[in-house]
Amino acid sequence: MKRKIYLLVMAIAAVLFAMPARAFDLGDVRVNARFLTDRMAFELKLNQRQYNDLYEINFDFFSNVDPYVSALARADARAMDAYYRYLDERNDDLRWILSNTAYVRFMSIDYFFRPICAVDNMCYLRVYKVYPDRGFFYYGLPPHYYTYRGAHRRAHCGGVSYYKMNFRKHYNHKVYAGYYQCRPEHRPHDFGKPAPSVRPPRPVCPPSRPVPPPASRPPKHEMDKRDRYERHEVRNRKEKVERAKKPDRSSTRTSRDASRRNIREM
């Protein structure tokens, strides 16, 4: 009995621990792709072929951005870069299945053109705010709803749009040739501004060896006086030594005069 209670407590703790990690999840990729495809096909008046291709494109888009959803809710710059890269690829693919008129209409609808946004650190699909009844659909399930797993995404086609390569097989409409990429000003409207990164102060490491204090020196003018005094003393000593080495001329002259007198007297 105690073991069953312990296992039950552990299971509840695991569920509670996993809930914050899924708090930013948008939900099932297939469900979101089908709902968005259904509303786009209804408003843009698409045929069955366009509906099927549109589901694949939306499925690939949600699969690509799903790992970045939690970071998008925090307005992480790297996650937003990845999101808008996949969004531009998705919107580029749509040019080949939508007519020029339908594509212009598609770009004017934010919940189709930029489907994901963040509010209060939570990511949402804009289309659910416009169509809150998630159980109602205008169209049935796509034929490959359970079997399609991303075979036509660009990662499997060498980075080239599968729908561009097969455009002539299924479509012959005029392709939209205008600017379709998302602009930088869309970011604050979709996810807000990223929080500035605050770096902790760099720790000051003590020096490995103690630095000796600088030697105290007397002021410059005191040193000059001492140097002049020492030079004067040295010069006086040298003069005394030189005078001591020179012969005394006065005594020599006196001895000479005396010798001259003696010679005269003789």
H, E, C per residue of the chain: CHHHHHHHHHHHHHHHHHCHHHCCCCCCHHHHHHHHHHHHHHHHCCCHHHHHHHHHHHHHHHHHHHHHHHHHHCCCHHHHHHHHHHHHHHHHHHCCCCCHHHHHHHHCCHHHHCCEEEECCEEEEHHHHHCCCCCCCCCCCCCCCCCCCCCCCHHHCCCCCHHHHCHHHHCCCCCCCCCCCCCCCHHHHHHCCCCCCCCCCCCCCCCCCCCCCCCCCCCHHHHHHHHHHHHHHHHHHHHHHHHHHCCCHHHHHHHHHHHHHHHHHC
Residue 19 reports pLDDT greater than 90: no
Q: Which of 56-60, 206-210, 221-225, 254-258 has the highest mean pLDDT?
A: 56-60
Residue 220 has pLDDT above 60, yes or no: no
Residue 94 corresponds to which tokens in the numbers above? 């749509």
Tell me the per-residue pLDDT of 159-170, one tens digit each, with 9 for 90 and over: 999 999 999 999
Beta bridge partners of 122: 119
pLDDT of residue 107: 96
Q: Is the CB of residue 86 less than 8 Å from the CB of residue 61?
A: yes
The predicted pLDDT at position 242 comes to 77
Joined tokens for residue 119: 């509010």
Q: What is the DSSP letter of 259?
A: H
Mean pLDDT of the chain: 80
For residues 13-23, b (16+ Cβ closer than 10 Å) or e, as one string?
A: eeeeeeeeeee
Residues paired with residue 117 on neighbouring β-strands, in sequence order = 124
Comparison of pLDDT for 33 and 19, the residue scoring more: 33
Percent of the chain's residues with pLDDT above 70: 67
pLDDT level of residue 189 (50, 70, 90 thresholds) = confident
User: CA nearest 150: which of 39, 46, 31, 58?
Assistant: 58
Question: Mean pLDDT lowest for which of 66-75, 109-118, 181-190?
Answer: 181-190
Instruction: Select the more confidently predicted residue: 170 or 205.
Output: 170
pLDDT of residue 11: 52
The band of 51, judged by pLDDT with boundaries at 50, 70 and 90, is very high
Q: What is the pTM of this model?
A: 0.65
Between CA 175 and CA 88 the distance in angstroms is: 16
